[in-house]
């Protein structure tokens, strides 16, 4: 595949990010030049350069917000991250509370936070509007090398040199789990929908996992070098992945296999990828500064040309190489042409016109995937004249035997005629069998079908156990599906009757009605439908799932209505899919609005405002860690403010003592103790101070001012 546009930026490209709802991308190189490209016009649309030390290649030390309004980058040797306003081309603020270099940075998709991960193993959450820290995630034992957020902004994943991935619910600051998915440094993490994520490491391993359960779903085909970047197409069926090679690997996420590694090649090592869904563009950045724009459906024009020339060999080879073409209308047209050709060939073969049939499918005969099908078809029809003659002479037993050997015969008009004759004879026989003195007529009607394995049980049952058919018909009419399918289970041959087909059609309608009732929130109807569906063996499992989901939603909505929020959040913890319900999202939006206000107060050290604003949430167990983080950071900023004012050391000691009593000794308070030591040239002895626990902070007396006198009990 050839790119539709190439831009030479001359410096290594380290980040590419599409701007939300726009056909534009932000591109950043290692010289910290920010460029905006218009993909519809395929031209540069603005940019600016930042005067900072060069950024590292093959790292996660730069990110762009989803709306393209901000970008964050680590400042080498400063233990800081600079956040810039892209439209106004100005720096907003520096972030930094790390002991050591910052290794990774990421914005959340709701534009609330920027997250930083450091060589100190710590990950801090910063309010994007105030530039102040509002929380810390569970630490790693080594460098934090990758950070990612779920699409709904609820979950944050951090990866590390310690080979683990840590998952935190940002809404509650509840640490879900830390899982060892890899055996080496984690280079990249990205979330998918349906609670899945992909993580890639230094050794080329790619792991698909369920991040709510901490469970590996699939280990994808290993790459030969360390994973640099990967992106997904719009329905997440395919993944494009890059190593420090000049190739782009195309994965099928359903199978975990590599479909192609030669779909496209670059002039040097790939350093960044982005997929633009609306345009079906893959954007590739390289170490030598080349930005490639690939239209993944650009091959559609070539495919059209192949079809026009009836060059189906190259057409299907092109689709195999670029499976994304299967989503194009041109490919659908190709498949329609194939169906038309094989159906025409079958009709011609049926009419005895083999040479014309050969011509009808000749363009497809050289296509490997079609050749075997066609060869089987022509081989079958070598005996078609014999089959046709047997049908005409009503020697059905022999005709069915040949049709079973040659399945393509079952699509012919002669086979269908034979089946129509059977249905006509059998249905008439079913009517006559209950009338007096009709046994001989019934025997005569069914005689041509004797000796046919698939018909014999039906005939024997009609002659010897004729009541079965009446019972089956009655059970269907009375909708006694339990008895109906029990009878089918006992006499499997009954599944070939019209009654069975009618029952299954009714079952599928019930299933559709149950799905619709679930969507509309009519849980009572769901239960009615699924209770009935429990008797349908083939539909039972899906009906059970709908029933369980309905019960969960009914209970969940009842808890919301009664404002039993503790139980609401417990439910969501057990069933993460409830996050997507509109009622829960309304609750979360209210929470987020309050949190946003409280975070501004936290930056000012205003504990009173935090506790008053979030007072109603103090009763919700799930929210206490988040509130605790805000109170904690407010205290940290109170102490930091006093350090900057060069307040009396005794006052600072009291603040440290009170902080330890409530939250215990953590890395952030250790930092401030070290700062006091450097600035005041004096140690603060904490060995005699009482230590609390951040998990039960709310059980303590929480002062508005960390420096006030607290009771000793």
Question: What span, in angstroms and rounded, lies between the C-alpha atoms of 163 and 184?
Answer: 5
Question: What span, in angstroms and rounded, lies between the C-alpha atoms of 224 and 240?
Answer: 15
Given a cut of 70, whether residue 713 has pLDDT beyond it is: no
Question: What span, in angstroms and rounded, lies between the C-alpha atoms of 503 and 489?
Answer: 14
- Tens-place pLDDT, residues 346-393: 999 999 999 999 999 999 999 998 999 999 999 989 899 999 999 999
pLDDT band at 439 (very low <50, low <70, confident <90, very high): confident
Question: What span, in angstroms and rounded, lies between the C-alpha atoms of 194 and 268?
Answer: 35
pLDDT band at 464 (very low <50, low <70, confident <90, very high): confident
Looking at residue 354, its pLDDT comes to: 92
Across 628-638, average pLDDT: 97
pLDDT band at 397 (very low <50, low <70, confident <90, very high): very high
- Structure-block tokens of residue 500: 């069975």
Whole-Å CA distances, 363 to 307, 333, 350, 367, 710? 10, 15, 20, 8, 89
Q: 335: buried, middle or exposed (CB in 10 Å: 19+, 13-18, 0-12)? A: exposed
Question: What span, in angstroms and rounded, lies between the C-alpha atoms of 374 and 31?
Answer: 59
Looking at residue 387, its pLDDT comes to: 93
- Tens-place pLDDT, residues 448-457: 998 899 899 9
**pTM of structure:** 0.86
In terms of average pLDDT, the best of 196-200, 320-324, 372-376 is: 196-200
pLDDT band at 131 (very low <50, low <70, confident <90, very high): very high
Element (H, E) at 593: helix 582-603
Question: What span, in angstroms and rounded, lies between the C-alpha atoms of 123 and 668?
Answer: 11
Average pLDDT of the chain? 93
- Tens-place pLDDT, residues 54-89: 999 999 999 999 999 999 999 988 899 999 999 999
User: What's the CATH superfamily of 59-226?
Assistant: YVTN repeat-like/Quinoprotein amine dehydrogenase (2.130.10.10)
Question: What span, in angstroms and rounded, lies between the C-alpha atoms of 128 and 132?
Answer: 8
Domain layout of the chain by residue ranges: 59-226, 331-478, 479-562, 582-699
Other beta carbons within 10 Å of 207: 21
Across 557-583, average pLDDT: 93
Asked whether the beta carbons of 299 and 326 are under 8 A apart, the reply is: no
Spatial strand order in the sheet of 5-8: 5-8, 290-295, 281-286, 270-276
Asked whether the beta carbons of 315 and 18 are under 8 A apart, the reply is: no
- Tens-place pLDDT, residues 143-154: 999 999 999 999
Looking at residue 76, its pLDDT comes to: 87
Q: Which residues contact 179 (CB under 8 A, 6 or more apart)?
A: 164, 165, 166, 167, 209, 214
In a 13 Å sphere around the CA of 663, the CA atoms on its Cβ side amount to 24
DSSP letter for 695, please.
G
pLDDT band at 712 (very low <50, low <70, confident <90, very high): low
Across 264-285, average pLDDT: 94
- Tens-place pLDDT, residues 204-254: 999 999 998 889 999 999 998 999 999 999 999 999 999 988 889 999 999
Given a cut of 90, whether residue 466 has pLDDT beyond it is: no
Q: Which residue has the tokens 């403010």?
A: 641
Asked whether the beta carbons of 427 and 480 are under 8 A apart, the reply is: no
Report the DSSP beta bridge partners of residue 25.
18, 37
Other beta carbons within 10 Å of 398: 16
Question: What span, in angstroms and rounded, lies between the C-alpha atoms of 371 and 361?
Answer: 10
Q: Which residue has the tokens 């041959």?
A: 493
pLDDT band at 582 (very low <50, low <70, confident <90, very high): very high
Given a cut of 60, whether residue 485 has pLDDT beyond it is: yes
Given a cut of 80, whether residue 335 has pLDDT beyond it is: yes
For 3-131, where are the alpha helices, taking DSSP H only? none
506 vs 440, higher pLDDT = 506
243, 321, 240: which is closest to 283 by C-alpha? 240
- Tens-place pLDDT, residues 650-692: 999 999 999 999 999 999 999 999 999 999 999 898 888 888 8
Radius of gyration, alpha carbons of the chain: 35
B/e letters for 77-102, b = 16+ CB within 10 Å, e = fewer, are eebbbbbbebeeeeeeeebbbbeebb
């Amino acid at each position: 595949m050839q790119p539709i546009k190439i831009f030479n930026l001359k410096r290594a490209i380290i980040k590419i990010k599409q701007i939300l709802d726009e056909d534009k991308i932000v591109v950043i190189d290692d010289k910290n030049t920010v460029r905006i490209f218009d993909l519809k016009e395929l031209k540069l649309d603005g940019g600016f350069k930042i005067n900072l030390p060069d950024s590292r290649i093959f790292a996660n030390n730069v990110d762009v917000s989803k709306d393209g309004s901000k970008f964050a980058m680590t400042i080498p040797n400063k233990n800081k991250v600079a956040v810039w306003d892209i439209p106004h081309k100005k720096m907003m603020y520096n972030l930094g509370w790390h002991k050591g270099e910052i290794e990774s940075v990421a914005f959340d998709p709701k534009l609330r936070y920027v997250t930083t991960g450091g060589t100190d193993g710590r990950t801090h959450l910063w309010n994007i509007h105030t530039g102040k820290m509002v929380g810390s995630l569970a630490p790693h034992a080594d460098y934090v090398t990758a950070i990612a957020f779920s699409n709904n902004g609820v979950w944050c994943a951090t990866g590390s040199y310690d080979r683990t991935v840590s998952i935190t619910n940002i809404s509650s600051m509840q640490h879900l789990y830390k899982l060892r998915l890899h055996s080496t440094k984690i280079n990249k993490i990205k979330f998918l929908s349906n609670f899945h994520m992909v993580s890639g490491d230094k050794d080329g391993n790619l792991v698909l996992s369920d991040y709510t359960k901490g469970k590996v779903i699939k280990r994808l085909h290993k790459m030969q070098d360390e994973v640099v970047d990967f992106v997904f197409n719009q329905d997440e069926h395919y993944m494009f992945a890059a190593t420090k090679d000049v190739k782009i690997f195309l994965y099928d996420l359903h199978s975990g296999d590599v479909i192609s590694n030669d779909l496209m090649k670059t002039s040097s090592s790939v350093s960044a990828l982005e997929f633009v869904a609306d345009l079906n563009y893959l954007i590739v950045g390289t170490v030598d500064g080349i930005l490639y724009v690939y239209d993944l459906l650009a091959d559609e024009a070539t495919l059209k040309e192949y079809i026009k020339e009836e060059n189906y060999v190259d057409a299907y080879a092109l689709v195999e190489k670029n499976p994304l073409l299967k989503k194009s209308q041109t490919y659908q047209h190709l498949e329609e042409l194939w169906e038309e050709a094989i159906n025409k060939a079958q009709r011609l073969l049926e009419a005895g016109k083999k040479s014309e049939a050969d011509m009808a499918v000749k363009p497809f005969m050289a296509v490997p995937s079609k050749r075997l099908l066609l060869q089987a078809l022509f081989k079958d029809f070598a005996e078609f004249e014999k089959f046709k003659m047997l049908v005409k002479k009503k020697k059905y037993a022999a005709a069915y035997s040949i049709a079973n050997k040659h399945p393509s015969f079952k699509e012919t008009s002669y086979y269908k005629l034979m089946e129509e004759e059977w249905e006509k004879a059998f249905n008439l026989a079913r009517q006559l069998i209950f009338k007096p003195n009709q046994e001989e007529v019934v025997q005569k009607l069914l005689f041509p079908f004797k000796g046919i394995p698939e018909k014999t049980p039906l005939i024997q049952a009609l002659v010897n156990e004729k009541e079965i058919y009446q019972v089956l018909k009655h059970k269907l009419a009375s909708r006694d599906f339990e008895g109906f399918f029990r009878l089918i289970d006992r006499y499997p041959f009954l599944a070939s009757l019209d009654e069975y087909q009618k029952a299954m059609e009714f079952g599928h309608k019930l299933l559709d009605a149950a799905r619709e009732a679930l969507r509309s929130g009519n849980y009572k109807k769901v239960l009615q439908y699924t209770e009935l569906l429990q008797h349908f063996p083939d539909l039972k499992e899906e009906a059970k799932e709908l029933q369980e989901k309905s019960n969960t939603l009914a209970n969940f909505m009842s808890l919301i209505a009664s404002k039993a929020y503790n139980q609401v959040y417990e439910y969501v913890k057990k069933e993460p899919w409830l996050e997507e319900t509109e009622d829960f999202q309304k609750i979360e939006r209210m929470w987020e609005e309050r949190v946003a206000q409280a975070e501004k107060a936290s930056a000012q050290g205003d504990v009173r405002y935090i506790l008053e604003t979030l007072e109603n949430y103090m009763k919700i167990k799930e929210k206490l860690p988040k509130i605790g983080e805000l109170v904690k950071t407010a205290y940290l900023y109170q102490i930091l403010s006093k350090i900057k004012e060069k307040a009396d050391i005794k006052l600072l000691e009291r603040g440290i003592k009170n902080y330890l009593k409530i939250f215990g000794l953590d890395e952030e308070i250790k930092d401030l103790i070290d700062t006091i030591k450097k600035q005041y040239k004096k140690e603060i002895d904490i060995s005699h101070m009482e230590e609390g626990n951040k998990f039960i902070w709310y059980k303590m007396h929480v002062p508005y001012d960390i420096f006030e006198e607290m009771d000793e009990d």
